[in-house]
Amino acid sequence: METLTCMEAQLNDFSSAKRAQVLEALIASGEPSAAVRPVVNLHCHTFFSFNAFGYSPSGLAWLARQRGFRALGIVDFDVLDGVDEFLDACEHLGVRGSAGMETRVFIPEFASREINSPGEPGVFYHMGLGFTSGQVPAVAAPILDDMRHRAEKRNRSMLARINAFLSPVTLDYDRDVLPLTPAGNATERHMLAAYLRAAARRFPDPVLYWAEKLQLAPEEVASQIGDAVKFPNTLREKLMKRGGAGYAQPGPETFPSVDEVNRLIRACGALPCATWLDGTSAGEQAEEELLSLLIGKGTRALNIIPDRNWNISEPDIRRLKVQKLHAVVALAGKLDLPLNVGTEMNAPGQNLVDDFEAPELTPVRQAFMDGADFIYGHTVLQRVLGLGYESEWSRTHLPARRQRNAFYTQVGRLTAPGQAGMARLTTLTSGLLPAEVLGRLTYPA
């Protein structure tokens, strides 16, 4: 057991060669996989953006196998660095996998309304789902490069402002922050971890330092500072969020437009995916208007983080959030938008997987499971045959989105994960009709 635990930890090494070696050794060890359970997590950040547990793409694929998740999907901010590793690992481990990317965009049509980025009108958390490679076509590569450049520019500017505020505790971005990442894509959470370490190095007991800088009572800081969830959240609110020392209000030029990012996503054969927070902002109170606009711009799915919409201690807020969760799931069904759900894993305290047995989630659980089958179905057909959701074959034979949704959901349900399933798909051709594809997948070869 100790050896297995050690090997699992090495799956999260920053060296890609080491991860590949360890994964091969784990497969060769014959370690049994867990029985598959009806749970999914399709929104897991890897350490290529930030994972609170330190998981690499390979580490997440192994986690899904060992915990019996029916499907698992990765999502990283502004990069596709983990896509190939993750999908290859899923294929070798027999895991239903999907890969995505998350970013922030500007929606000019909602420039006056806050949507899902609190306090930032027009700014929208947006995703692409169903990527099959981290290699981007030349026509779209400049868009991805620009997204990464913008993110780094925002980070460096924020760091300069926080350094001025927290002096004498200061950071050098290249020396103190980038080494916390495997491929140079740092996030606010990397900077936060670096500041906590720097303060602890300078002050053996940093309570008074943080109390002064954050303008909090020393006893309040003392009660939080040992809490790996509460204190980082407090620090992030005080330093990085709206009103904080490092915050700068974004404008229309801060982020790329949704149309520009959608060009990148679609050029990669992936699917633009809207995201939903909790239905309480001005923009999300006009959710049907928003989603209808985004569907016209190419959106094909909707992402939800269920846990933050029901797992709430205050009864009245919980009741309201659950009501809005059920309403947006119904709206997604009406608008033919499959659902992508998960826990994020990019902050301490988040769960490895949602509790689909919770009474608040049982009415929408099947929609969540269908969404997992849908994105897996698109992924494997695109990865193996180039016959994904937006392919010419799909648009020709399945012109209506509802038809396409049903077809790819069935493909995902019928295609076994792993190399056997991939081999089965290679026997299919673009000369088959959708019903023939499903027939070939339904019956033994």
For 72-125, what is each residue's pLDDT tens digit? 999 999 999 999 999 999 999 999 999 999 999 999 999 999 999 999 999 999
Kindly state whether residue 417 falls inside one of the protein's structural domains. yes
| Cα dihedral 366→368→374→376 (10° resolution) | -120
Report the distance separating Cα 414 and Cα 406, nearest Å: 12
In the 8-state DSSP scheme, what is residue 38? E
Structure tokens at 387: 């016959």
Kindly state whether residue 245 falls inside one of the protein's structural domains. no
Phi-psi region of 102 (alpha: psi -120 to 50; beta: other; left: phi over 0): beta
Same domain, 230 and 303: no
Kindly state whether residue 244 falls inside one of the protein's structural domains. no
**What angle, rounded to 10 degrees, do the helices at 141-166 and 230-239 form?**
90
pLDDT at residue 1 tops 80 = no
DSSP helix/strand/coil, 301: strand
Same domain, 336 and 212: no
Same domain, 154 and 95: no
Digit-coded pLDDT (tens) for 238-277: 999 999 999 999 999 999 999 999 999 999 999 999 999 9
In the 8-state DSSP scheme, what is residue 288? H
Digit-coded pLDDT (tens) for 340-366: 999 999 998 999 999 999 999 999 999
In the chain, the amino acid numbered 123 is: V
Same domain, 374 and 394: yes
Kindly state whether residue 246 falls inside one of the protein's structural domains. no
Same domain, 289 and 410: yes
DSSP helix/strand/coil, 37: strand
Report the distance separating Cα 338 and Cα 274, nearest Å: 11
Report the distance separating Cα 436 and Cα 25, nearest Å: 39
The number of distinct structural domains making up the chain is: 3
Same domain, 438 and 316: yes
Same domain, 284 and 396: yes
Same domain, 204 and 310: no
Report the distance separating Cα 43 and Cα 178, nearest Å: 24
Digit-coded pLDDT (tens) for 128-168: 999 999 999 999 999 999 999 999 999 999 999 999 999 99
Contact between residue 8 and residue 17 where contact means Cβ atoms under 8 Å apart: no
Same domain, 28 and 122: no
pLDDT at residue 412 tops 90 = yes
DSSP helix/strand/coil, 53: coil
What CATH number does the domain containing 430 carry?
3.20.20.140
Phi-psi region of 154 (alpha: psi -120 to 50; beta: other; left: phi over 0): alpha
Digit-coded pLDDT (tens) for 378-406: 999 999 999 999 999 999 999 999 999 99
Same domain, 45 and 115: yes
How confident is the model at residue 3, as a pLDDT?
87
Digit-coded pLDDT (tens) for 184-203: 999 999 999 999 999 999 99
Same domain, 196 and 223: yes
Same domain, 11 and 46: no
Contact between residue 175 and residue 156 where contact means Cβ atoms under 8 Å apart: no
Kindly state whether residue 375 falls inside one of the protein's structural domains. yes
Contact between residue 359 and residue 310 where contact means Cβ atoms under 8 Å apart: no
Give pTM, 2 decimals. Answer: 0.96
Residue where a domain terminates, one of 223, 239, 255:
239
Structural domain of residue 207, as residue ranges?
146-239
Q: Which residues sit opposite 271 in a β-bridge?
A: 129
Q: How many residues does the chain have?
A: 445
How confident is the model at residue 444, as a pLDDT?
64
**What angle, rounded to 10 degrees, do the helices at 365-385 and 401-414 form?**
80
Report the distance separating Cα 390 and Cα 130, nearest Å: 11
